[in-house]
Chain A
Amino acid sequence: MIDYLYDGTFEGLLTCIYRHYYSEKASGIFTEDSYQSSLLSRYRVIDTDAGQASKVYEAVDKKISSYDLRRIYKTFRSSADEKEMKILRYVVMGFKRGSCISMLHGDPVVFAVQQAEKKVGNEAHRLKGLLRFSVLRGGVFYSRVEPDNDVLEFLAGHFCDRFRNDAFIIHDIKRRKALVARDGSWYISDMDTDAIPPADAEEKEFRRLWRLYFNTTAIRERTNPRCQKNFMPQRYWKNLTEMTCGPAGTDRR
């Protein structure tokens, strides 16, 4: 038994799974920068191997199912604790049980992956609504987000289709990366900058109109802040135009 350390990529994780089968059983899988070694455990740094990774990738696709392949990828993008081991256990069990693994809802191994996957899917869906663009000078749409899970690429298809004639940037400031799209095609790159031009008068005017609409459409007699927070958790508020408003209607962004 040995701890495997990988570089944080999906291919790296698949390489670790390959090694789990062909060299030594894994007691844990960690990213290199998060690992804290202890006296009792041995560890090995795994170099990502494209060939080994694609063998595992193909095997999951063929011997389990493409649904489960997508499922473990979503789990990989989650921020669940020990997601690597959850995926490993799921894959090991999947190779034994085949495609019916996703029907075993009561099994703890399946349940752990199901929960992590659900969180990623839910947050991606939620962000499709709770993301706010600012239209910068030059017509580029820019948005800051701080999602719990790494969901950028699950937003790409939706927004690329929606704004297929425009350019936009969705900036994950927590992970310092960004989804950059133009005319319907997209890529993900590192982005570590605060050099975003401030909003111009036109942009500010639309923010003002939106806040007006937001406040007007609430029915005073039905006020229910608990219900509001339930649907729109407070951790998202700091990047929402309508919730970042000073006492005198000033813009704090």
Chain B
Amino acid sequence: MTGITEGTYEKLKILADSAKFDVSCSTSGTARKNNGRIGNAQMAGCCHSWSADGRCISLLKVLFTNDCVYNCEYCVNRRSADCRRAAFEPAELAALTIEFYKRNYIEGLFLSSAVAVSPDHTSERILASLRMLRRDFGFAGYIHAKIIPGTSPELVHAIGLEADRLSVNAELPCRSSLERLAPQKKPEHIFTPMKQITNTLIDRQALRGPGTMFKGLDINSGDSYLSSGAYGRDSDPLSPGGDLIPRPHKRIKESFAPAGQTTQMIIGASGETDQQIMKVSEKIYHTFKMKRVYFSAYIPMTDSPLLPGRNTSPPLAREHRLYQADWLLRFYGFSSDELFDERHPDLDPDLDPKITWALRNLHMFPMEVNRAGMNELLRIPGLGTLSALRIIRQRRICTVRYEDLKKMGVVLKRARHFLTCSGHYYGCTDFTPESIKNEILQADGGVQLSMFDTAAENMSTIYQLSGLKVPGIPAAPSQKAGGTV
């Protein structure tokens, strides 16, 4: 047990507790055969356990140290917080990772850190740990490394050569919130490493975009990327990297962050609307061609006057809707403008964003499943990429009947209102947004119906929804957003 000591237990307790609010735990995006002594990576990723909050555990997610010189208002590890501080030794962390990996507890390591002394000092320690893990221990499993804002380009590059995925936290969805809540983190310091990572990937023709968002485009080019920054103003034309970064080897094949980069932002801590949040994440996708933008519902841990009070419950339902909208951007060909209009800057808490969009655009429906193209099929609520592909495959050989749809994985209680099969319509009798909405809500059974029939003119449905928001918490949202929305 080299490196593991008596104190490891306490350190793990402190440093895992400080890291638990980091969202990303994915291990997907790269496939690698064992090219070291132990370990490999699968394209689809692999979850190893699920903690009591329903979030998956696939990586050993820890901070290198939680001793921070910054004082961000929302953070549990801020300098003024009264909490126990600890730091791993590189050998200790590497040994712990390997021993956990051998027992198949984890798929790899997620290493982040608080800013001790300076960003560069911290990044050097992170780099030393990763190098030890890769070179001395021969670890070929998955590594996700956080880049600390303000780290020098040479260090970002060196960490990228060891890690599979890099991420820089955007922290908050807009510049003013960042200035208010995390005054020591400058937007430039966040976007410079993001840009450097994207540029390096473009340079090496190694960029793969998120889902179907860049379908048909050559994303390994800097075209769309140089025009605008993520916060709606041009990013500074900084040099993409320092002069000390070595050029890639001609003969030795080295990989730089093969699983790309991601970012995350806290929602519900500052006053942005859903529309602003989606706009920013869309811009981040387009500008930096990231794999994912993660959202983290703000959980009040401090008594700061700038933040929601201690008794505020975390906006989990809102986070769930945002993830659904995020899926629509990445895999369903939607743009953020389509999801909102002037009267609705927030997503509907009762219905998923795809249904809300469909109800606003009923003139496009119902669609004939035997004729609609892939992009059109993906617009039907209750149909996902898999079921749309199956419909298209079967269509080459024989007609798709209504009975077949369920077997293909279509969620009929939503989809039946928006499609026809060989000209037959199976949805509700009057084709209006209100009645379709009612039927879907009743089928979901999650929303209480009003006792008062206020809209007497619409007698086709007995139950009417109250215009008020239903009290109480909606059905527990699935923590892992995605699937068919």
Question: Interface of A with B (CB < 8 Å)?
Answer: 100, 103-106, 111, 125, 128-135, 141, 143, 158, 161-166, 202, 205-206, 208-210, 212-228, 230-232, 240-242
Contact = CB atoms under 8 A, between A and B. Distances in A.
Contacts of A220: 53
Given A106-B401, A226-B54, 8 more contacts: A132-B104, A164-B38, A210-B103, A213-B105, A222-B53, A228-B50, A228-B53, A242-B105
Contacts of A111: 407
A228 B55 CA distance: 7
Given A129-B48, A213-B60, A218 B53 contact: yes
B476 A226 contact: yes
Contacts of A143: 104
25 contacts: A100-B397, A103-B397, A104-B397, A105-B394, A105-B404, A111-B407, A128-B46, A135-B102, A143-B104, A161-B33, A163-B38, A165-B37, A213-B105, A214-B51, A216-B20, A217-B20, A217-B51, A218-B20, A221-B299, A222-B53, A222-B55, A222-B316, A224-B479, A225-B54, A232-B50
Contact of A228 (B21, B38, B52): B52
B314 A222 contact: yes
Q: Which one of A205, A215, A221, A224 has the highest number of Cβ atoms from chain B below 10 Å of its Cβ?
A: A224
Contacts of A230: 54, 478
A16 B52 CA distance: 48
Contact of B314 (A161, A162, A221): A221
Given A103-B397, A228-B52, A231-B56, A165 B13 contact: no
A242 B49 contact: yes
A219 B51 CA distance: 9
Dominant secondary structure at the B interface: loop
Contacts of A222: 53-55, 297, 299, 314, 316, 479
Q: Which one of B13, B103, B476 has the highest number of Cβ atoms from chain A below 10 Å of its Cβ?
A: B103
B480 interface: yes
Dominant secondary structure at the A interface: helix
Contact of A206 (B40, B47, B99): B99
B99 to A, nearest CB: 5
Q: Which one of A104, A129, A165, A221 has the highest number of Cβ atoms from chain B below 10 Å of its Cβ?
A: A129
B50 A231 contact: yes
A62 B39 CA distance: 37
A227 B54 contact: yes
Contacts of B394: 103-106
B12 interface: yes
Contact of A103 (B13, B37, B107, B396): B396
Interface residues of B, number: 65
A210 B390 contact: no
A202 to B, nearest CB: 6
Contacts of B58: 129
A106 to B, nearest CB: 3
Contacts of B314: 221-222
A105 B12 contact: no
Contact of A129 (B4, B46, B297, B480): B46
A85 B13 CA distance: 54
A223 B405 CA distance: 35
A106 B408 contact: yes
Nearest to B15: A216
Interface string B374-417: 00000000000000001001101110110111011000000000
B75 to A, nearest CB: 15
B9 A130 contact: no
Contacts of A163: 38, 102
B393 A105 contact: yes
B42 A158 contact: yes
Given A161-B40, A224-B479, A216 B16 contact: yes
Contacts of A228: 50-54
Contact of A162 (B40, B297, B299, B313): B40
